[in-house]
Amino acid sequence: FGSYTSDLFYQQPNKNPPKKLKNKKKMTPKPQAHIYSSVPSDDPIAQANYVVLPAYPHPRHRNIHRILRHLRRDLLFAFSLLLLCLSIFLLWPSDPDLQLVRVRLNHVQVRTLPSISLDLSLSLTIKVRNRDLFSLDYDSLNVSVGYRGRELGFVESEGGTVKGRGASYVGATLVVDGLEVLHDFFYLIEDVAAGSVPFDTVSSVRGDLGLFFFKIPIQAKVSCEVHINPVNQTIIHQNCYPE
Fold for 97-242, please state it: Immunoglobulin-like (2.60.40)
Tens digits of per-residue pLDDT, 178-191? Answer: 777 667 778 888 88
Q: Give the length of the chain.
A: 243
Q: For strand 160-162 and strand 214-229, is the pairing parallel, antiparallel, or unpaired? A: unpaired
pLDDT > 90? residue 79: yes
* First and final C-alpha spacing in the chain: 172
Contact, 155 vs 143, CB < 8 A? yes
- Average pLDDT of span 45-53: 59
User: Which pLDDT band, with edges at 50, 70 and 90, does 52 fall under?
Assistant: low
Q: If you average pLDDT over residues 86-93, what whole number do you get? A: 79
> What distance in Å separates the CA atoms of residue 72 and residue 29, rounded to the nearest whole number?
77
2/199: higher pLDDT: 199
The segment with the largest mean pLDDT, out of 44-58, 189-203, 224-238, is 189-203
For residues 166 and 97, what is the distance between their CA atoms, to the nearest angstrom?
11
Q: What are the extents of the domains in the chain?
A: 97-242
- Residue-wise pLDDT for 3-27, tens only, equals 444 444 445 555 555 555 455 555 5
101-to-18, 145, 221, 242 alpha-carbon distances in Å: 148, 14, 15, 15
Give the pLDDT score at 82: 92
Q: DSSP of 141-176, one letter per residue?
A: EEEEEEETTEEEEEEEE--EEE-TT-EEEEEEEEEE
Q: Does the structure show a pLDDT above 60 at 227?
A: yes
Distance CA 158, CA 173 (A): 12
pLDDT digits (tens, 9 = 90+) for 129-167: 988 888 888 888 898 988 888 888 888 888 888 988 889
Average pLDDT taken over every residue of the chain: 76
Lowest mean pLDDT across 32-41, 57-66, 178-187:
32-41
